[in-house]
């Protein structure tokens, strides 16, 4: 699955969110990971300027979000429903960590079956009646003495795990400049130029070269130079030669 088609089958459902800022922060967390389907169940204050402000550029996710009166209506058509829970409860439903849950989610999404991931209220999480709609629990392993993440942080962790499963490749075009490798011929030209320049500027005595060139070859062979770096070095050598008034032949290659 490429681009964002995978995300169309993954609904993030926020239940009874109290602070609109958290809705905005959740939308932002989703968008950074390419997760797009936001559903809100009876949010306390929504729409809200604070939600838009905290979404900070993810307002398209907010604009597309769907508001429902209750959880059941948000889950219509879903193949499997996962509840995000900060507490481990004594319920007869399987509990998985996000990565295990993603392994369970993946085949369903590939079969084009929508799944819902349900997040609870900031203070009280999900009610038992709401949990009754959920088939599995997802718990983010955390400090047992302090296991409750901020709502948007929990959204971020889950969205990241999904992103890693469906679309983890780092686009090489975004890494920056592509390094162009040098050939061994290029390096030989550099070494000839270097030797010539060192003689010109009096750094190396051609009658007593010692092991200088061998050492410098080892140094530059280790350095994994790219074309750009090679040109810089050759530019320095040419400038040094010019400075010594020995530039008649131009650059020696």
Distances (CA, A) of 199 to 29, 30, 44, 207: 60, 62, 79, 10
**How is the chain split among helix, strand and coil, in percent rounded to 5?**
45, 15, 40
- Are 34 and 59 contacting, i.e. CB atoms less than 8 angstroms apart? no
24 binds ligand SAH (CB under 6 A): no
> Which residue's CB is nearer to ligand SAH, number 87 or number 244?
87
Contact residue for ligand SAH among 27, 62, 75, 84 (CB under 6 A) = 84
- Residue 82 has φ and ψ, to the nearest 5°, of -115, 130
Contact residue for ligand SAH among 16, 21, 24, 120 (CB under 6 A) = 120
> Which residue's CB is nearer to ligand SAH, number 123 or number 211?
123
The DSSP element (H or E) to which 82 belongs, if any, is strand 80-84
Site string for ligand SAH, 125-164 (x = CB under 6 A): xx-----------xxx-x----xxx-x--x----------
Q: C-alpha angle with apex 176: 174 to 182, nearest 5 degrees?
A: 130
> Which residue's CB is nearer to ligand SAH, number 19 or number 193?
19
How many residues contact ligand SAH, by CB under 6 A?
A: 20
90 binds ligand SAH (CB under 6 A): no
Q: Which residues contact 227 (CB under 8 A, 6 or more apart)?
A: 179, 180, 181, 182, 186
Residue 59 Cβ vs ligand SAH, minimum distance, rounded to whole Å: 22
Residues that bind ligand SAH (CB under 6 A): 84-87, 119-120, 122-126, 138-140, 142, 147-149, 151, 154
């Amino acid at each position: 699955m490429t681009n964002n088609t995978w995300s169309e089958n993954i609904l993030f459902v926020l239940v009874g969110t109290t602070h609109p800022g958290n809705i905005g922060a959740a939308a932002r967390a989703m968008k950074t990971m390419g997760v797009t389907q936001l559903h809100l169940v009876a949010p306390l204050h929504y729409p809200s300027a604070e939600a838009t402000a905290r979404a900070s550029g993810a307002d398209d996710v907010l604009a597309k979000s769907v508001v429902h009166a209750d959880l059941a209506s948000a889950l219509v058509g879903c193949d499997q429903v996962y509840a995000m829970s900060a507490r481990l409860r004594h319920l007869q439903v399987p509990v998985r960590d996000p990565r295990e849950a993603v392994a369970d989610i993946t085949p369903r999404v590939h079969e084009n079956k929508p799944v819902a991931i349900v997040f609870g209220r900031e203070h009280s999480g999900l009610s038992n009646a709401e949990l009754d709609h959920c088939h599995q629990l997802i718990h983010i392993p955390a400090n047992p003495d302090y296991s409750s993440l901020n709502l948007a942080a929990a959204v971020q962790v889950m969205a990241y795990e999904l992103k890693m499963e469906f679309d983890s490749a780092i686009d090489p075009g975004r890494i920056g400049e592509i390094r162009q490798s040098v050939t061994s011929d290029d390096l030989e030209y550099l070494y000839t130029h270097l030797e010539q320049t060192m003689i010109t500027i009096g750094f190396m005595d051609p009658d007593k070269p010692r092991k200088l060139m061998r050492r410098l070859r080892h140094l530059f062979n280790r350095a994994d130079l790219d074309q750009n770096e090679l040109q810089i070095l050759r530019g320095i050598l040419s400038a040094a030669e010019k400075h010594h008034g020995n530039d008649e032949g131009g650059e020696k290659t």
